[in-house]
């Protein structure tokens, strides 16, 4: 990397003056960047180490520190570049606070860059944050690895871009602006820019089943899953038996790809004959792109990146409109005034003058563009702060495909359909003037009175609450209720930007609310630490839901989303939904009566590996890690928990075991007996001995038994080789104290078991630990005949109990009773251990990594390091700040539409992938309606029956609507069914009495109703789905 040129006007921040000491990177003695992988685990899952190291050497210039500039700076600093220089010659105005969240009213009159530098520095003290307060020169900008210009004139951009484009090597240059609900981005990364990884996806893989001796050769793969290869891709082969030439011939091109086969452009006629085995792996190829300069691009822009296929003709017009806006600003020394008809006409005229290709122009849109151009909106800044921030990362690393080259966007649906009077847009000398300039004073007043329920204070939640504070939501009479039951962890700090290292272990919601108040002290926000679930319906009761204007989900799991979705449907409240996965994000608008709900469509469940594959026949590292985590939970959490349960109530637990005398119970009792009696550990030395013997059992004895039962030449009942793809024939691992992985397995296993047994740990050197291990006596293992090993992929659990199980369980329980007399009611400390992936000192991931890798060695599977093991075994969701910011910006643009009571055509559901980049926006799907007898309903409807009605009165209600109600239920209980004669006795009884007596329903004092499900038939005796029935009895 080139050294960045310094300038006398650049001021460096002294990191020693900062309280926040969260360091993202350090340097090794050899000068190589060493990453803090605990802090950056989620980001590393997206970028990988090499990209992160490239980032850590990059110097970035960000010019213009209004809303968009500060958003990009935040995201780039969190990503972990070497340095960021903030350049701005302007002074803070009160209206800047509507989108620039790191400015306060006390900063008015100060230089923008200097006013926000300290707060940006707090995000990551490993990044040098500097400022420049003078105009940019060509020499200065050419000393960076990426240059971003915002809020710049076109002439200035052309001058600086020319310098960057001509520099050797070219300096990646980005120009971006948001103007009201319009935005544009231009990227020029120079000629010959190399993209090392176009999409960031994992290379496609396949397991070979056969290869023909032909030209071209046909490769067939096992049919477990459909191949994802594409024609023309390069692949490599490994572990092919019988045709070793393919293992060494290097990458080969493929064609004719089908679901489970493809051809390779190789003549294998004279190769050996394929026997078995083989893996095929995609080789990801780099691409080189040549970018036009801005000067060239303005004349010949090429294809525009699209976001909304309903607006195919919009980008060419906006390409001219933004140029016209620049001309207006240069001429008039200002932007068009909101609602000013003359200014709008001038923008139209300037655009027409530029329209030499006679493209279609929509004057109404151009006038709206002009009217809102002076507005700087927080949601737009957030959305494009994510998009542009990702382009900066691409410029510095070559990771993912750059935006090529122009992107124009508008969210016209977010603003009033007609331009309002100039008086409606008149500035109020407030922080919201930039928003008033786009929406008008009346909408701003509605915004400040909103009641919002924000569920989740993680990465999405931090961005949302920041946007809400800037927009002025609930800053007058409204209220934001923010809830999250989680606490802050170190790994959160790389993307949940409201948190600092001194906040670790504090409640997320409390810290996020405090940080939001620092952005806007007028925000009326209440922070709760409650999980939104059936258990908290007395907290989030009917009055709470009835008082909401909108619910915003910022959750990270599907079940929680589904529950919140169900409550929003029940109470008919709008739900704004979003989620991220690495560079991908999706948003969904759930609007009462207008759209389907979140739960109306679901992704298919993830495919699970069969139990026999995990236990005996793994063929990828994911299987080894899933098995290792399962063993961890069994050894250190489930068995100790059962032991604690037994010691607390021995008789009751024993009776429960005897009530279900099956194989699973037998296994559980056996493990508890071992833990408390047979193999009870009382000293650390015993824990080390246990861990050493477990190594022998897992990686030598069990493998010896497996290969004895199924030798390498074993065949199935059909005569096929038993060990055919995808099965891999294993070999034993012999323990060695000179192998660090072997030592780590014993050290981690011993320390965890010591913790579980309440035994004091000992900090032993590797030599001392090795000496202790060498003193452990290991018995020779002799395989046994007749051992059953499960091979059925459909088997999911232990087999049914045998006749002997009850006797064996009773015998073990007797031994358990005798052996624990000194423990029951005593001071023996048993500590079940719950898996925690993000604490690098607790030995959890050390044990799982070592265990999985030993398993991998058994089966000749490529091992993984601790980070990769954490990502897979910890089921870590890849996450980066840029995607999160973009998602929340998109959602908040739709939040404006709620205030306008917009039709469904105005809303947008979005899928985006910043890696490609790709944006796909579409109208939400309307709900499905059912009709009968002049009635119409959807999932949004509830039929409400007033009064404390009897069963007969309920049936009459449906009879009047030409429906026959034949069954009424509440929860799991049947209240009435016309099939049962005795139920006729219930006809005169009050429904409120029956649901409490039969269903044991507890109706809170504040609740005025209860719900029942009624099954009905129409006049043709056909079942008909009807809404939930609410009986308002109070």
Catalytic residue among 116, 142, 462, 612: 612
Judge contact between 387 and 185, C-beta under 8 A: yes
DSSP, collapsed to helix, strand or coil, labels residue 976 as strand
Distances (CA, A) of 720 to 22, 225, 240, 243, 884: 58, 21, 18, 20, 51
Q: Mapping DSSP to helix (H, G, I), strand (E, B) and coil, where does residue 587 land?
A: strand
For tokens 């910890």, name the residue: 874
Burial 643-659 (b: 16+ CB within 10 A, else e): bbebbeebeebbeebee
How many angstroms separate the CA atoms of 299 and 359, rounded?
14
Point out which residues pair with 147 in neighbouring strands: 61, 173
Of all helices (H) and strands (E), which one includes residue 627?
A: helix 621-633
Longest dimension (CA), the chain: 97
- Sign (positive/negative) of CA torsion 557, 562, 563, 565? positive
Whether 475 and 512 have beta carbons less than 8 Å apart is answered as: no
Rounded CA-CA distance 391/435 in Å is 27
Give DSSP secondary structure letters for 668-695.
HHHHHHIIIIIT---SHHHHHHHHHHHH
**Contact at 8 Å (CB) between 525 and 516?**
yes
What residues does 590 pair with on adjacent strands? 575
Environment class of 998 (CB within 10 Å of its CB; exposed 0-12, middle 13-18, buried 19+): middle
Comparing C-alpha atoms, which of 604, 614, 675, 688 is closest to residue 646?
A: 675
Give the angle 760-765-767 at the CA atoms, nearest 5°: 125
787: buried, middle or exposed (CB in 10 Å: 19+, 13-18, 0-12)?
exposed
For residues 753 and 681, the answer to whether their CB atoms sit within 8 Å is yes
Q: How far apart are CA 182 and CA 439, in angstroms?
A: 13
Cβ neighbors of 54 (< 8 A, separation 6 or more) are: 396, 397, 398, 399
> Which tokens hold the place of 302?
């090429």
Which residues are CB-neighbours of 678 under 8 A, at least 6 positions away? Answer: 819
Secondary structure E strands in 947-992: 964-970, 973-977
Helix segments in 373-429, DSSP class H: 378-397, 422-425
Q: Is 470 a catalytic residue?
A: no
The structure tokens 């009213």 sit at 105
**Active centre residues (catalytic):** 612
């Amino acid at each position: 990397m080139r050294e960045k040129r310094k300038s006398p006007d650049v001021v460096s921040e002294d990191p020693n003056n900062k309280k926040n000491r969260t360091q993202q990177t350090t340097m090794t003695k050899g000068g190589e960047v060493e990453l803090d992988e605990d802090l950056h685990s989620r980001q590393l899952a997206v970028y990988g180490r090499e990209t992160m190291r490239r980032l850590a050497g990059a110097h970035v210039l960000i010019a213009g520190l209004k809303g968009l500039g500060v958003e990009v700076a935040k995201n780039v600093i969190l990503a972990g570049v070497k340095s960021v220089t903030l350049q701005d010659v302007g002074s803070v105005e009160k209206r800047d606070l509507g989108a620039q969240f790191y400015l306060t009213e006390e900063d008015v009159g100060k230089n923008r860059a200097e006013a926000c530098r300290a707060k940006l520095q707090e995000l990551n003290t490993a990044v040098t944050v500097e400022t420049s307060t003078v105009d940019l020169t060509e020499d200065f900008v050419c000393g960076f690895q990426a240059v971003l210009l915002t809020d710049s004139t076109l002439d200035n951009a052309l001058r600086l871009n020319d310098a960057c484009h001509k520099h050797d090597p070219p300096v990646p240059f980005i120009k971006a602006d948001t103007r009201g609900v319009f935005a544009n981005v231009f990227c020029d990364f120079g000629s010959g820019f190399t993209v090392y990884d176009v999409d960031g996806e994992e290379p496609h893989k396949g397991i070979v089943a056969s290869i023909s001796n032909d030209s071209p050769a046909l490769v067939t793969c096992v049919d477990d899953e459909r191949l994802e290869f594409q024609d023309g891709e390069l692949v490599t082969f490994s572990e092919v038996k019988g045709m070793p030439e393919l293992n060494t011939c290097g990458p080969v091109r493929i064609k004719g790809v089908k679901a489970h086969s493809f051809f390779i452009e190789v003549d294998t006629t004279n190769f050996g004959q394929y026997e078995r085995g083989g893996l095929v792996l995609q080789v990801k190829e780099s691409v080189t792109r040549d970018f036009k300069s801005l000067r060239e691009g303005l004349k010949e822009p090429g294809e525009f990146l699209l976001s909304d296929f309903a607006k195919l003709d919009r980008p060419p017009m906006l390409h001219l409109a933004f140029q016209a806006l620049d001309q207006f600003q240069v001429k008039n020394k200002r932007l068009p005034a909101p609602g000013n008809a003359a200014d709008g006409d001038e923008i139209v005229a300037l655009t027409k003058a530029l329209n030499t290709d006679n493209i279609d122009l929509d004057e109404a849109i151009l006038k709206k563009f002009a009217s809102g151009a002076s507005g700087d909106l927080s949601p737009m800044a957030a959305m494009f702060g994510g998009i542009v921030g990702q382009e900066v990362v691409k410029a510095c690393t070559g990771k993912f495909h750059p935006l090529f080259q122009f992107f124009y966007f508008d969210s016209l649906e977010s603003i009033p359909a007609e331009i309002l009077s100039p008086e409606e847009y008149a500035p109020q000398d407030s922080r919201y003037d930039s928003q008033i300039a786009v929406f008008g004073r009346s909408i701003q007043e509605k915004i400040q009175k909103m009641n919002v329920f924000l569920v989740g204070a993680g990465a999405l939640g931090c961005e949302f609450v920041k946007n809400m504070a800037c927009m002025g939501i609930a800053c007058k009479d409204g209220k934001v209720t923010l809830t999250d039951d989680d606490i802050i962890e170190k790994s959160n700090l790389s993307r949940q930007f409201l948190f600092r290292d001194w906040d670790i272990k504090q409640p997320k919601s409390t810290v996020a609310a405090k940080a939001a108040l620092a952005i806007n002290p007028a925000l009326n926000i209440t922070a709760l630490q409650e999980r939104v679930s059936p258990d908290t319906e007395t907290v989030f009761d009917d009055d709470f839901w009835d008082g909401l204007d909108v619910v915003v989900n910022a959750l990270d799991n599907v079940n929680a989303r589904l529950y919140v979705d169900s409550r929003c449907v029940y109470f008919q409240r709008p739900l704004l939904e979003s989620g991220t996965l690495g560079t991908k994000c999706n948003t969904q608008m759930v609007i009462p009566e207008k759209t389907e709900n979140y739960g109306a469509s679901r992704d298919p469940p993830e495919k699970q590996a069969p139990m026999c594959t995990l236990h005996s026949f793994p063929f990828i590292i994911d299987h080894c890690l899933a098995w290792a985590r399962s063993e961890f939970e069994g050894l250190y959490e489930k068995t100790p928990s059962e032991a604690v349960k037994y010691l607390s109530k021995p008789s009751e637990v024993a009776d429960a075991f005897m009530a279900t005398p099956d194989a699973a119970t037998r296994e559980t009792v056996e493990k508890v007996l071992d833990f408390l009696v047979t193999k009870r550990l009382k000293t650390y030395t015993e824990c080390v001995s246990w861990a050493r013997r477990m190594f022998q059992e897992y990686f030598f004895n069990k493998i010896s038994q497996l290969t004895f039962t199924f030798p390498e030449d074993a065949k199935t009942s059909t005569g096929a080789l038993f060990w055919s793809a995808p099965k891999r024939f294993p070999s034993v691992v012999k323990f060695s104290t000179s192998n660090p992985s072997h030592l780590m397995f014993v050290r981690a296993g011993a320390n965890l078991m010591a913790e579980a047994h309440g035994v004091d740990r000992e900090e032993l050197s590797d030599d001392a630990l090795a000496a202790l291990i060498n003193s452990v006596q290991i018995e020779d293992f002799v395989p046994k005949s007749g051992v059953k090993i499960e091979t059925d992929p459909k088997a999911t659990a232990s087999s049914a109990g045998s006749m002997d199980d009850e006797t064996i369980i009773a015998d073990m329980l007797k031994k358990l009773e005798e052996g624990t007399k000194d423990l029951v009611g005593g001071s023996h400390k048993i500590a079940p251990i719950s898996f925690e992936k993000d604490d690098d000192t607790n030995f959890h991931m050390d044990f799982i990594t070592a265990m999985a890798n030993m398993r991998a060695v058994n089966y000749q599977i490529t091992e993984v390091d601790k980070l990769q093991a954490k990502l897979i075994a910890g089921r870590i969701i890849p996450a980066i700040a840029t995607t999160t910011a973009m998602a929340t910006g998109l959602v908040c643009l739709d939040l404006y539409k709620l205030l306008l009571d917009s039709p469904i055509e105005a809303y947008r559901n979005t899928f985006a992938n910043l890696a490609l980049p790709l944006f796909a926006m579409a109208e939400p799907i309307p709900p499905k309606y059912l009709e009968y007898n002049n009635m119409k309903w959807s999932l949004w409807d509830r039929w409400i029956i007033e009064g404390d009605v009897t069963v007969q009165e309920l049936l009459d209600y449906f009879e009047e609507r030409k429906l026959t109600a034949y069954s009424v239920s509440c929860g799991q209980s049947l209240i009435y069914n016309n099939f049962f004669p005795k139920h006729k006795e219930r006809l005169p009884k009050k429904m409120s009495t029956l649901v409490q007596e039969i269903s044991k329903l507890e109706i809170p004092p504040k609740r005025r109703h209860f719900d029942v499900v009624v099954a009905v038939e129409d006049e043709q005796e056909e079942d008909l789905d009807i809404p939930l029935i609410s009986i308002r009895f109070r």
